[in-house]
Chains A and B, each alone.
Chain A
Amino acid sequence: DGGITQSPKYLFRKEGQNVTLSCEQNLNHDAMYWYRQDPGQGLRLIYYSQIVNDFQKGDIAEGYSVSREKKESFPLTVTSAQKNPTAFYLCANALLTGLLGEQYFGPGTRLTVT
């Protein structure tokens, strides 16, 4: 988990509310990613960002939004349009120039929506 912080670790929200998950890094890496993890489904990519003020949709972007105003921060907003938001959310980053390199993951945020 070194270099990437996600807060809070556990988050509870009522259905219909938007919620923002924090992801901060001090590794000075260019690329940042958001994944969703559900039991038995592995990790699915929500959004990714290559550089500041630029981001791309991943495989399951519907109902989510992101921003990348600073290199070290990549917050994820889970909107009320996301039909099944309860999941474990993981933020990761990687050196942009090192496409051959591994991604580094934060500790995750477990979101429960009731």
Chain B
Amino acid sequence: AQSVAQPEDQVNVAEGNPLTVKCTYSVSGNPYLFWYVQYPNRGLQFLLKYITGDNLVKGSYGFEAEFNKSQTSFHLKKPSALVSDSALYFCAVRDDGTDSWGKLQFGAGTQVVVTP
């Protein structure tokens, strides 16, 4: 079984400050981790993914995420937030178990609010 937790319903940050959105996961096999962003009344947009290799993954729009196997975490980060980064962010995981078949398990989402 696989699960994802996003412990914060909302993150507030001032424009120009660092942004971090937290995600922890649980899988039975090796984790494949993803971050998506959703703007109001829109579909999800892919930001980045971790499959294997370097623990620091760089993605779209200046976002990056750090995979930490010992803490089972995959936190999303941006060094300097923009007002346009205000959106709903989802962490997702799948494992390489034989019954997972590419199914993604999503977290509940974290609303990011960036104030000018």
Q: Which residues in A have some Cβ–Cβ distance to B below 8 Å? A: 1, 4, 6, 9, 31, 35, 40-45, 48, 50, 56, 58, 88, 90, 92, 94, 96, 99-108, 110
Contact = CB atoms under 8 A, between A and B. Distances in A.
A103 B38 CA distance: 14
Contact of B44 (A40, A44, A56, A105): A105
B42 A110 contact: no
Contacts of A104: 46
Given A106-B43, A108-B42, A50 B108 contact: no
Contact of A105 (B43, B103, B109): B43
B7 interface: no
A1 B37 CA distance: 12
Contacts of A41: 108
Main SS class of interface, B: loop
Contacts of A106: 43
| Max count, chain A CB within 10 A of own CB: residue among B9, B41, B51 | B41
B106 interface: yes
Given A42-B106, A43-B106, A102 B42 contact: no
Contacts of A40: 9, 108-109
A10 B36 CA distance: 23
B25 to A, nearest CB: 13
